[in-house]
Structure 1
Amino acid sequence: MTYKELSKDYLENYGLSIGDTIKVHKEDISYTGILLDRPEDADDGYLVIKLSSGYNIGVAIDNTTAELIEKGDKPKIGYDEEEIPTDPSKQNISIVSTGGTVSSVIDYRTGAVHPKFTASDLVKANPELLDYANYNVKALYNILSENMKPEYWVKAAEEIASDISEGADGVVIAHGTDTMHYTAAALSFMLKTPVPIIITGAQRSSDRPSSDANINLIDSVIAAKSDIAEVCVCMHGSLNDEYTYLHRGTKVRKMHTSRRDTFRSINAQPIAKIQNKKINVNPEYNYVKRGENELEVNTAIEEKVGFIKSFPGISEEFIEYHIDKGYKGIVIEGTGLGHVPDNLIESFKRAADEKIPVVMTSQCLYGRVNMNVYSTGREIIDAGVISGMDMTPETAYVKLCWALGQSDDYDEVKEIMQNNIAGEFSQKSSIKDFLN
């Protein structure tokens, strides 16, 4: 029982326990609902009740009376192990859970979101999924996305490739949203796939009435059954439950801390819009179609890559530190067209001399790097810095990690960075990508 002393005495006085249906009376108002547990650090003197509408309210116990309507069990998050039914007429979709909010519940010890659902629980918590496909489910990790690591990208790619080799018609990955775009980029470089690989998540956990997990999961399965054989991110396209967008894995980014429509295609348009359970492909998009590629896996990666944001007054020590510590590559998030203060240029020259590739991206996100416009930019080019073109900084970082896993030769790495491998940069920027 996590209720503190005052509230605990109140519950004992009325013979109430967590999970009971109760009615509380306060002056001329009464509320009926299920008594819920509370975070350990919550203020004392309050009850939390789940109303029939699905919403929770807090009621101060001062001048409040309560009555038991029906005894109940303490709510349990999770599902008993049971076999997921199969239908031979439906496609086979693999669901791989790495954790994150989409497979999380509220931890009442702290009031925080905690990853607890298994991949199998996701299907059982969203039974409508069974209308669309058969499922092979597995929990690869059970972590919040801030704990994702490059070595986890490797294991995820290998597991996905194994599922595809065993006959999966598509793969859905449940992932935390904060680092989803890093994983999407990593899988885009590591895998050539003959089937769709769809990454999805949620901004609100599955046990909340306002969760976006259900629609994101269902639309991801619809995308996994489609003809789009690429690594994509499928997330809400509006604040309401109207539609989702399918974004290319190397062109997507989380752009808001809490909105449901947080994910946007950067310097690109979404590949498709999924609405009313139908997928509408952008007619301007040239995507890889199902079966065009043979499965290829290349998970070699270099983890020792620096990621530095330029700012007014930045010291060359930031660059020198990474060189001295043996970093194999550096991505710079420069200002504007790809600028940094001129005091960093000598450090860039040292990096080039030591065959450490430095890649320039922009903090502006939209638009492309062009270091030829201003004199400092030209000096940066002369110092050996590689243009990140219109890649997002995160995609450039992931790509450099992967490129250094393919070769330790400076010229070969530079060639890989300038070769469009998974649609990570556009040959020409379009104003509509920014306006829309």
Structure 2
Amino acid sequence: MAYEGYLKDFLELSNITVGDTVKITKPNVEHEGMLLEKPDYSNENTIIIKLDSGYNIGVDIQDAKIEKIREGSKPKIELDPVDKELSDEKDNVSILSTGGTVASVIDYKTGAVHPAFTADDLLRATPELVDYANINAKAIFNILSEDMTKEYWIKTAEEVYNEINNGADGVIIAHGTDTMHYTASALSFMIDTPVPIVLTGAQRSSDRPSSDAFTNLMSSVTAAKSDIAEVTICMHGTEDDTYCDLHRGTRARKMHTSRRDTFTSINMNPLAKIQNNKLTINDSEVSYTKRNENKLDINTDLADNVALIKSYPGMNPEIIDIYVDKGYDGLVIEGTGLGHCSDDVITSIGRATDEKIPVVITSQCIFGRTNLNVYSSGRRLLHHKVIPVSDMLSETAYTKLLWAAGQTDDMEEIRKIMQTNLKGEMDTTLSQNYFIKN
């Protein structure tokens, strides 16, 4: 909302408007920043400014002196167009924007960041991209990643398929970081790709000096031109702008709420490091799918409902019963340690498998793998025909079970799919007895 009452009168008398840089002096403290409009929920005595650091603060102006430092204006969201001169010597790279911080802009009414850029705006804001590839940018939807659903995953998979089918040598997906690893995993199972598919995002929006959007996008172009024809995630490998890591889509996880190097490869190293537009494979012994090894194919059949449930002390087993009563297509239980649950919860899990609902067991531990042969609770789970999946991440198990249960309703076939390493999502070097017993 706009400033009202005496604040409005004061600003008008002082010839201060939204967009101006102001200095606010209070006893023992001084703030300088750009004046933003007030959100509806702010205190009536508060004005909102954006600091040079990119952060927004509210300042109570009682006993404060305010002066205008310089005139300002709201920055234009519309940017000058970029000359997209095509060249036969460059690879064709498509950028599909789904929203998120990497494709965001500041809302000068609230000071908040919203997914307001289109994919073409993203290209205009990073014109250097066209020096390295023929860029085709397209916005497929514009949401925050917490609003992602399986319907959006299907839409994304279809758009990626179309881009590759139309000649893209690589595809970049601009995506919010919070659920990027879910999307990367889901796409991994839905698409067989002959070219790289790279998801990237930003922890800090482009209006902040510390934004990681530019480096992540530039590194993603390098990844999209590479020989690694898998679904991957390209994000900062360090807190500074030294290099980016390229993570396998089924093995990556967001590990920090705000650090720029938030993504980590779990139970393996990142596939590659990208520095100064050069990609270096990290481990020559790790196999990856190479460009043109696969033929392009898509299978977007997903189950209607799969739940990801965390086991915890004192958990009411009725939680499992609710999903069974609602006829869910599958459950992923994030057990403790090696993959354990309480006796009461195990009883309800047994009811689920008796009702022909597949139950997959993962671990809450980030590193390591499940092993249900060690303790009695694990062996009891095996008796109820649960499906352990080695060192597969819970988020990956969730998307894979959605896909597996979308292919068939046969319990043994689902077990076979879940315990087969399809897209590098699990360690298959275990003794064969692990899977035979389970």
1:29-428 alignment runs, 5 A limit: 35-43=35-43, 44-46=45-47, 48=49, 62=63, 64=65, 66=67, 69-70=70-71, 72-79=72-79, 84-282=84-282, 283-428=284-429
The aligned counterpart of 2:434 is none
| C-alpha distance in 1 between matches for 2:211 and 2:38 | 19
The one-letter amino acid of 1:239's match is E
Partner amino acid, structure 2, of 1:127? P
1:110-151 CA-to-partner distances (Å, cap 9, x unmatched) read 443211011111111112212211111111111001100011
Secondary structure, in 3 states, of the residue corresponding to 1:286?
coil
d(CA) in 2 for partners of 1:307, 1:251: 17
CA contact (8 A) 1:35 1:50 kept: no
User: Who is 1:434 aligned against?
Assistant: none
Quick one: structure 1 residues 47 and 390, their matched pair in 2 at CA, closer, same or farther if it must change by over 3 Å?
A: closer
The one-letter code matched in structure 1 to 2:99 is G
Distance 1:361 1:65 in 2: 57
| Distance apart, 1:382 and its partner CA | 0.9
Shift of 1:96: 0.4
1:87, distance to aligned residue in structure 2 (A): 3.2
Q: Distance in 2 between matches of 1:138 and 1:362?
A: 38
After superposition, the C-alpha distances for 1:44-85 in whole angstroms (9 at most, x for unaligned) are: 35463665x878787776553635755x53323243667644
- Contact 1:19–1:74 under 8 Å retained in 2: yes
Distance 1:383 1:7 in 2: 67
Q: What is the CA distance between 1:279 and its match in structure 2?
A: 0.9
1:309–1:334 CA contact under 8 A, matched in 2: yes
Conserved 8 A contact 1:39-1:110: yes
Identity rate, percent: 58
Contact preservation (8 Å) 2:38, 2:47: no
Q: Is the 8 A contact 2:371 2:388 kept in 1?
A: yes
Q: TM-score, normalised by structure 2?
A: 0.90
SS in 2 for 1:172: strand
Going from structure 1 to structure 2, the CA distance change for 1:256 and 1:23 (only over 3 Å counts) comes to closer
Letter in 1 for 2:192: K
- In structure 1, how many angstroms separate the alpha carbons of the residues matched to 2:30 and 2:322? 64
CA deviation after TM superposition for structure 1 residue 17, in Å: 2.4
The one-letter amino acid of 1:226's match is: S
Counterparts of 1:263 and 1:54 in 2: how far apart (Å)? Answer: 23
Please report how far the alpha carbon of residue 229 of structure 1 lies from its aligned counterpart in structure 2 after TM superposition.
Answer: 0.4
In structure 2, C-alpha distance between the alignment counterparts of 1:131 and 1:336, rounded to whole Å: 49
Q: Quick one: structure 1 residues 32 and 154, their matched pair in 2 at CA, closer, same or farther if it must change by over 3 Å?
A: closer
Deviation larger for 400-409 or 1-10: 1-10
Cα distance per residue 1:401-435 (max 9 Å; x no partner): 00011111111111101111000001248xxxxxx
Moved more, 278-287 or 416-425: 278-287
Post-superposition CA distance 1:144-187 (Å, at most 9, x none): 01100011111100100000010001000001111101000000
CA offset at residue 280 of structure 1? 0.9
Which piece of structure 1 moves more, 140-149 or 61-70? 61-70
Counterpart of 1:406, as a letter, is Q
Give the secondary-structure state (helix, strand or coil) at the position aligned to 2:113: strand
Distance 1:68 1:415, change over 3 A: closer
Tell me the SS of whatever aligns to 2:73: coil
Bigger drift between 208-217 and 370-379 goes to: 208-217
Q: Distance in 2 between matches of 1:358 and 1:269?
A: 29
Contact 1:78 1:117 in 2 (8 A): no
Gaps of 5+ in 2: 431-438
Partner Cα distance (1:361, 1:334) in 2: 6
Change (3 A) 1:90 1:65: same
- 1:248 CA drift (Å): 0.2
Instruction: Indicate the SS of the match to 2:427.
Output: coil
Partner of 2:140, secondary structure, is strand
Q: Are the counterparts in 1 of residues 20 and 68 from structure 2 also a CA contact under 8 Å?
A: no
Q: Cα distance, 1:299 vs. partner?
A: 0.7
Supply the distance in 1 between the matched residues of 2:121 and 2:202 (Cα, whole angstroms): 15
User: 2-side partners of 1:73 and 1:67: how far apart?
Assistant: 13
Distance in 1 separating the partners of 2:342 and 2:217: 45
Q: Specify the alignment match of 1:433 in structure 2.
A: none
Unaligned runs of 5+ in 1: 430-436
Cα offset, 1:345, TM superposition: 2.7
